[in-house]
Amino acid sequence: MMGVDKAKKLEALSNFTAMAGQNPAFAYLLGFLTGQVDRVFFVRDLEDAKIALRMSVGRQRIWPAQPLQATISGVIMPTPLAFVSAAGATDDPICVSLEFDHADETPWYQEVLLPNVSYVRDFKKTVEEESFRVRAEMDRALDIYKECKEMLAKDPARQKELSYYLKVAEEELRNLGNKLAELNVQMKRISSDS
């Protein structure tokens, strides 16, 4: 199973440990996760994860989140000890979601965060499929762009209408190009981990 660089995952665990402060339950879990770092994957959406762990600290909101939520094969783990005991008895990936203030803007967390569990199951395959899908969308946008250019050459009276569609196609190509660049970075990361 491939994925995010081990050093980046260790950095994320270390940074979150510092945020958790003196919480003994977090210290115990984070120590376990550090020892199992090759099995740990940080995931935004834990749905369908066989082993799922959500940890929350310092949330600035009206209804604070539970500090710890853990399930293994759909069974709620009532304590950190129960989670570690059950997770340690298997080789399955451990999907972790960290919740903390400004998580969406924190580079060390965003670098290791995968969108969902499908990326964990077969990270390389998922990235390749997404890359193929983005390329197909780029081909479609290029076809629209080309067709608009040809129509504009044949019928200059439609310039206002076709200019709009050209701009839409250009913007779509720019967005897809950025997405493809992100996927290429992920592919390079996978190749360097191999």
Take residue 76 and report the two structure tokens written for it: 């709620």
Q: Which helix (H) or strand (E) holds 85?
A: helix 80-88
CATH number for the domain formed by residue range(s) 125-193:
1.10.287
Q: Which residue has the higher pLDDT, 21 or 50?
A: 50
Neighbouring-strand partners of residue 76: 71
Burial environment of residue 36 by CB neighbours within 10 A (0 to 12, 13 to 18, 19 or more): middle
Give the model confidence (pLDDT) of 50-72 as tens digits: 999 999 887 655 556 678 899 99
Are 68 and 54 in contact, with CB atoms under 8 Å apart?
yes
Burial letters 51-82, b for 16+ CB under 10 A, else e: bbbbbbbeeeeeeeeeebbbbbeeeebeebee
Take residue 129 and report the two structure tokens written for it: 């499929």
Q: Which of these ranges, 62-66, 100-104, 131-135, has the smallest mean pLDDT?
A: 62-66
Local structure of residue 159 (DSSP, 8 states): H
The share of the chain scoring above pLDDT 70, in percent, equals: 88
Q: What's the whole-number mean pLDDT along residues 10-19?
A: 91
Where residue 107 falls among pLDDT bands split at 50, 70, 90?
A: very high
Per the listing, tokens 């008895």 go with 89
Q: Which residue ranges does the chain devote to CATH 3.40.1530.30? A: 6-115
Burial environment of residue 89 by CB neighbours within 10 A (0 to 12, 13 to 18, 19 or more): exposed
CATH topology of domain 6-115: hypothetical protein tt1805 (3.40.1530)
Q: Nearest Cα to 147, choosing from 117, 119, 169, 127?
A: 169
Give the model confidence (pLDDT) of 138-178 as tens digits: 999 999 999 999 998 999 899 888 899 899 999 999 999 98
DSSP strands (E only) in 84-182: 94-99, 113-116
Are 20 and 38 in contact, with CB atoms under 8 Å apart?
no
